[in-house]
Amino acid sequence: MKKITLFLLFIALGSFCFGQEITLFDFGQSTNTTAGNWNNVTDPGTVSSTTNLIDDMGVATGEVLSLTDAFDPTPNSTGTVTPDPSLPFPVTATEDNFYGDDTTPTGGFTLSGLEAGKYYSFQIFASRENPTPVDNRETLYTITGLAAPQTATLNATNNTANVATILNVQPNGSNEITIQVQKGPANVNTNGFYYIGAMEMTKSDTTLSNKRIGINGTVSVYPNPSSDSEFVKINLNLNTAARVKMDVYDITGKLIKTLLNEEKSAGSFVQTWDRSNVASGLYILKIDADGRNQNSKLILK
């Protein structure tokens, strides 16, 4: 019986040479963290506090998030409890936030230990439900790496579905990227409230577009990291219904097997691959869900 060792490297493009790694952040209260492979950041007030990061498979990345500019010292719990199912953020990540106002006009982080030459893309979520008054609480996010700063804005007021997106930031010469958070130009709140609640960071070998940032859901493949089983189980949790195609390729790009090609409803399902007649080596599992691609690298021993 052959031993299976699975190392997952998510990628957003169809070509196998382009790697992708996803890292998830929940900014909020220590009493309301997100379970699983999330980085729960719970101290908004202590400058130089750090979080050693894991990716969405639970693997340590060697990257570190450091608080470099303090927010209000107490996270709030006034975000949405009904996030849109298309978001990669569960309610535990959307219902609380780091925030600041005109007395703490900026807050910020530094990401260090990043990989030179890679591209880092960000989707940021924030929400403030039922504020009084119901006004524009736009937040401006500025992310800076090797090139000029990139910015995006997001109005947190009663937000359940929108994100701020910044794509393809490369680390500076110190392998760092900085993130600054402050009120946006359209923010009319008298206190200048601004927010950050959750973030998805995608590392890639090549530039991404919005269409290419992963499938609309989550994937896990097991046994992992190793097993004597002849079966590989692929768990796919779709946020929305989609036509799903799963193909296994060898490293030359030759199709080995199509595991699935059908419409699937929103929710979780498991697809099992009997690979007992497949030789040891490196393979790629490609998943396409309505044109959004996510690949996994499999090493079979």
Range of the domain at 294: 220-300
Query: Which residues of the chain carry a pLDDT beneath 50?
Result: 1-18, 224-226
**4 belongs to a structural domain:** no
**Do both 233 and 260 map to the same domain?**
yes
The alpha-helical segments, DSSP class H, found in 30-140 are: 91-94
Instruction: Specify the pLDDT at position 65.
Output: 99
**Do both 239 and 115 map to the same domain?**
no
Tens digit of each residue's pLDDT (9 = 90 or more) over 69-82: 999 999 999 999 99
Q: What DSSP state is assigned to residue 44?
A: S
Residues 65, 199: Cα–Cα separation, whole Å: 12
Question: What one-character-per-residue DSSP string does 257-298 give?
Answer: EEEEEEEE-SEEEEEEEE-TTSPSEEEEEEEEETTEEEEEEE
**Do both 185 and 254 map to the same domain?**
no
Provide the token pair at 11. 């990628």
**91 belongs to a structural domain:** yes
Tens digit of each residue's pLDDT (9 = 90 or more) over 169-202: 999 999 999 999 999 999 999 999 999 999 999 9
Tell me the whole-structure pTM to 2 decimals.
0.72
Instruction: Specify the pLDDT at position 223.
Output: 54
Which pairing describes strands 39-41 and 4-5: parallel, antiparallel, or unpaired? unpaired
**137 belongs to a structural domain:** yes
The alpha-helical segments, DSSP class H, found in 28-82 are: none
Sign (positive or negative) of CA dihedral 200, 205, 210, 211? negative
**Do both 126 and 97 map to the same domain?**
yes
Question: What one-character-per-residue DSSP string does 183-197 give?
Answer: E-TT---TT--EEE-
Instruction: Specify the pLDDT at position 210.
Output: 63
Are 271 and 285 within 8 A, CB to CB? no
From the CB of residue 87, how many other CB atoms can be counted at a distance below 10 Å? 20
From the CB of residue 193, how many other CB atoms can be counted at a distance below 10 Å? 23
**239 belongs to a structural domain:** yes
Tell me the sheet residues that pair with 204: 20, 119
Instruction: Specify the pLDDT at position 8.
Output: 40
**Do both 252 and 284 map to the same domain?**
yes
Question: What one-character-per-residue DSSP string does 208-252 give?
Answer: --GGGS--SEEEEEES-SEES-SEEEEEEEESS-EEEEEEEEETT
Instruction: Specify the pLDDT at position 181.
Output: 99
Instruction: Specify the pLDDT at position 7.
Output: 40
